[in-house]
């Protein structure tokens, strides 16, 4: 097993990829036996390993390992980075993360094409952008810790930076709409640019 990369600040470098399928964005529920984030919904992702030549290569590898989807590195659109701290139920920091976010638009793939590892994940589902926006806005309004993060206990989703949600969702909607237009696919009922 390759070791994960850690920055000089002691942050673990991680990647996460929002994968847009025919019915929306892919989410995987972590297994109840997961030692770090049991039962939490999140996008395919994980640690950047020393053997990964780039963060894009890490995103590609993690998407393949967690969702069974083989994609070219060129398909991964970089969305940006953010820092985050995972905390246990008592509020103790258990990991400091430096995360790289990516987006992949693959509307020709469906949930049936996703082959998750049952030892790592217990459920696969998709959310359209409107549903994601409503869910995350609801959670943004809940109690937040001092760093402006939403805790896993409050949302059931992997914790994200509030600004990343507010700024990232419209960007993702714009990119997906552009890609669907390029592919001459109907966008009806799938995603719209958010105000």
Query: Residues 14-70: pLDDT tens digits?
Result: 898 989 998 888 989 889 898 777 888 888 998 899 999 999 999 999 999 999 999
To 5 degrees, how large is the angle CA 85–CA 60–CA 183? 115
Q: How many distinct structural domains can be found in the chain?
A: 1
Q: What is the pLDDT of residue 41?
A: 80
The candidate with the shortest Cα–Cα distance to 18, out of 151, 133, 118, is 133
Range of the domain at 165: 12-182
CATH number at residue 165: 3.90.79.10
One-letter-per-residue 3-state SS of 32-74: CCCCCCCCCEECCEEECECCCCCHHHHHHHHHHHHHCCCCCHH
Whether the predicted pLDDT of 122 surpasses 60: yes
150 pLDDT band, cuts 50/70/90, is very low
C-alpha span between 143 and 183 (Å, rounded): 41
- Kindly state whether residue 187 falls inside one of the protein's structural domains: no
Q: Give the chain's mean pLDDT.
A: 77
150, β-bridge pairs:
144
In this prediction, residues 166-192 reach a mean pLDDT of: 65
Segments in 83-182 forming alpha helices (H): 129-140, 152-155, 162-182
Tokens of 45: 């992702």
Q: What is the pLDDT of residue 185?
A: 58
Tokens of 177: 């709409």
The candidate with the shortest Cα–Cα distance to 107, out of 28, 177, 165, is 177
Q: What is the pLDDT of residue 143?
A: 40
Distances in Å between the Cα of 143 and the Cα atoms of 83, 84, 99, 164 are 19, 16, 22, 17
In this prediction, residues 113-136 reach a mean pLDDT of: 84
Q: What phi, psi does 90 have (nearest 5°)?
A: -95, 0
DSSP conformation class of 111? G
Print burial letters for 2-30: b (CB count within 10 Å at least 16), e (below 16): eeebeeeeebbbbbbbbbbbebbbbbbbb
């Amino acid at each position: 097993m390759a070791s994960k990369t850690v920055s000089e600040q002691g942050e673990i470098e991680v990647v996460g990829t929002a994968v847009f399928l025919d019915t929306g964005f892919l989410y995987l529920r972590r297994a109840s036996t997961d030692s770090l984030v049991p039962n939490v919904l999140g996008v395919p992702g994980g640690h950047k390993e020393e053997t990964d030549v780039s963060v894009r290569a890490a995103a590609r590898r993690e998407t393949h390992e967690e969702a069974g989807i083989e994609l070219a590195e060129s398909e991964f659109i970089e969305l940006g980075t953010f820092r985050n701290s995972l905390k246990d139920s008592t509020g103790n920091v258990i990991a400091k993360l430096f995360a790289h976010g990516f987006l992949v638009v693959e509307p020709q793939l469906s949930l049936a094409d996703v082959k998750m590892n049952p030892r790592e994940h217990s459920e696969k589902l998709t959310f359209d952008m409107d549903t994601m926006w409503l869910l995350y806005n609801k959670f943004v309004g809940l109690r937040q810790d001092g760093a402006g993060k939403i805790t896993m206990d409050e949302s059931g989703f992997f914790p994200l930076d509030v600004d990343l949600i507010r700024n990232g969702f419209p960007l993702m909607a714009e990119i997906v709409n552009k890609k669907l237009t390029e592919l001459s696919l109907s966008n009806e009922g799938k995603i719209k640019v958010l105000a």
